[in-house]
Amino acid sequence: MNQSPSKGQRLLSVLADLIPNFFDRVLNWSDRTQLFFIITVLLFFSVPLIITPLAIWQQGIVAVMLLTLGWVVSVVERKHATGRTSEYLHLFMIWLSLMTTFRYLFYRVNYTLNLNSGWLDATASILLFLAELYAIMTLVLSFFQTLKLKERQPISMDNIPQSDWFSVDIYIPTYSEDIDIVRKTAIAAMAIDYPADKKKVYILDDGSSEALRERREQLQQMCDQLGCILLTRDNNDHAKAGNINAALTRTTGDLILILDADHIPLRSFLMETVGFFLKPKVSLVQTPHWFYNPDPFERNLVTAGKVPVGNELFYKVLQKGNDFWNAAFFCGSAAVVRRSHLLEIGGIATETVTEDCHTSLRLHSSGYETVYYDKIMVAGLAPEKFSAYVGQQTRWARGMAQILRRENPLFNPGLNLTIPQRICYFSATSHFFFGFPRLMYALAPVLFLVFGLNPVRGLGLETLAYALPHFLLAAFANYIAYKHVRFSFWNEVYEFAMSFHTGIVTLIALISPKHGKFNVTHKGLIVDRRTFDWRSTLALLIIGVFVAASIIAVPFWLVYSPEKAEAVLVNLFWSVFNFTLISAAILVGFEQPQRRMDHRLARNLRATIHHFGRAIQGVTLDISDSGARIVLEEDASLGDEIELDLVGDSDARVSMRCRVIRVVQDRDRPVALVEFLDLSRAQKDALSLVIYSDVNEWYAQRRESIDDLFRSFAFIAGSFGRSLRPSRSPLTASRS
């Protein structure tokens, strides 16, 4: 017998229905400019709510009411999370969060800056306040970027004669990557569904040094085998940007698909993206970057499959928000660009080491449009080692800071950008300045508990009454937009891990924007033993020691200065919080050995096992370049060797001889673990197409897991146990 809904459930249902209907009526007539105007007016009329002074008990009541309201809204969104409801509840929570944030800021400026207790206290107080200003700025910018997320569907070319389709050049720039990595991408590029007379694949080799001469000869042999065209140059000026610009003068396609050497494309890539270019003003179609191997955070903290990876926030949310404002930008790969527009702006930008974003800025400034299509169309390799990850992130940090310094997208009158575009580009180019603010957050309680400095005057319950609504309502607002792509407190872990590195390079880029060069991210490396990356984590280790010392100092404060207990306990909570996150960030440098030689992917491929005249059907659970796990439709006694046929999503096929490692029972199903034997070159190529190219939709396209504040923090706190646990098996124990 079904129970009737309770009064509370009925109220939630009514709220979930009324709120979207109200916003529909208000916003039905508004375009992007009018939406921007509405937001500005709302903020203006909210000024009295921000500056009205209250007694501490009154502010405490207001804080409880605000947090209760935020919690109710989050419950409504969680229980009735249709796209329309979530969108409008998010807008409401943004407004509520901004009110509490600016009220907190008003309180900080007027009551807590410690400028009259000596120059050391004043310096610490100003530095902490500047760090908070940066954090508030990034919060406001992210709110703006996520006001409205644009969802796109592919535009069909079926009603256009193939003779009139765009011609497409596929560029695969390469410098020193392993030939096998480049080959996988080239094979998949050749297999992309598109008229053969309208598509050419170019390998752009930038490895002109004597040490790479043999590699160039191997690339030529590979191109001869596959039907690609090898383009080379005598230098590698301007690195990847120069490589692409050199190719522009030697090719003629209307459109150019750019793929990093490790970015294996789906066969449907062009059929799902080229249609957007039927609109003449479209210059660029960008798709997400997705990596089929765990990055250092996933592997070293043992989070794979449990926590969204670092770039999901950008590709699943921020780029779609940018796209709403016509500000989605080029990410260097997995993108199609219009040749004529690229030539018009002088080719790929070469003045910074993030040539991709810089190029987009110039395209937008020329009045052209970009498109972000949120479907994973490439499978790439993430950096295996933390040091390689650091190198990649610091290059992006340097390049974005260079763009900010050279172009000044927010205020430069020479750029023909809309106000929303300026805001989106300013958000992107200022993002990597989190380094020193994040370190200041870690050091602020240390300055009080270890050195006796007081960065916040009167820190105690009154400050918390203003600060907690600011922090928690921002978390509630971000939860609605980010709940599938960025779990609570993981952003802090990422920032702590990179804080010292990005802090240095962004400062240098602001002072000397011409300093620094493009560095290639090393991928395809094997991590065969446990090591600790002292070089990448040393600065954070030192910070961690100071934070630990601040926690140890608390009993001395409580004994010898009990009158300061309120401030001491608040700083203790702050230090414990910081120490937990810093510890997780440090453990990212504790390299975990790979358990397998080849990366395993979750793929459900149709499988047929041939054994003694029998054909046994099954489906793969996961697969690598060297083996697979296969669920069998029936129990069978398999010998040591079998013949295996695998079929992709669109009938790409490969047949192989396999060794049966063992057959196990998994949930009352027989599962065969097999290792591929003596694969020929043709079989390896066919297997690569089946695994990486012939895919309707990658499993990472849709994530079902949802953020939970307390569980997320507990999972971070458990990083010690997961990272330091003995490895279950050495690298050579299993290749499948």
How far is residue 144's CA from residue 718's CA, in Å, rounded to a whole number?
Answer: 34
Axis crossing angle, helix 461-482 with helix 56-79, rounded to the nearest 10: 10
| Residue 411 to residues 65, 72, 156, 406, 454, Cα–Cα distance (Å) | 39, 40, 39, 12, 36
Close Cβ partners of 648 (under 8 Å, ≥ 6 residues apart): 605, 689, 690, 691, 693, 694, 695
Residue 8 DSSP code: H
Closest CA to 396 of 308, 439, 334, 332: 332
- Beta carbons of 128 and 445 less than 8 angstroms apart: no
CB 86 within 8 A of CB 77: yes
Cβ-Cβ contacts under 8 Å for 599 (sequence gap 6 or more) = 292, 293, 624
Residue type for 149, please?
L
C-alpha–C-alpha distance, residues 719 and 302, integer Å = 8
CA distance 255 to 157: 15
Can you tell me the distance from the alpha carbon of 535 to that of 521, in angstroms, rounded to the nearest whole number?
17
3-state secondary structure of 322: helix
From 169, 205, 206, 685, the catalytic residue: 206
Structure tokens of 529?
């033993």
Residue with tokens 């030192």: 542
Q: How far is CA 421 from the centre of its chain?
A: 21
Q: What is the DSSP letter of 317?
A: I
Bridge partners (DSSP) of residue 371 are: 285
Partner residues linked to 647 by β-bridges:
606, 653
673: its two tokens: 């673990």
Query: Strand 627-632 to strand 614-623: parallel, antiparallel, or no bridges (unpaired)?
Result: antiparallel
Distance CA 491, CA 311 (A): 11
- Whether 356 sits among the annotated catalytic residues: the reply is yes
Cα separation of the two ends of the chain: 50
262, 356, 649, 685: the catalytic one is: 356
For the chain, give the number of residues.
736
Q: Where are the beta strands (DSSP E) in 191-261?
A: 199-205, 229-232, 255-258
Six-digit token string for 714: 């507990």
Q: What is the DSSP string of 13-51?
A: HHHHHHHHHHHHHHHTT--HHHHHHHHHHHHHHTHHHHH
DSSP line for 524-566: S----S-EE-HHHHHHHHHHHHHHHHHHHTHHHHHHH-GGGHH
Active site residue 224: no
Q: What residues are annotated to the active site?
A: 206, 356
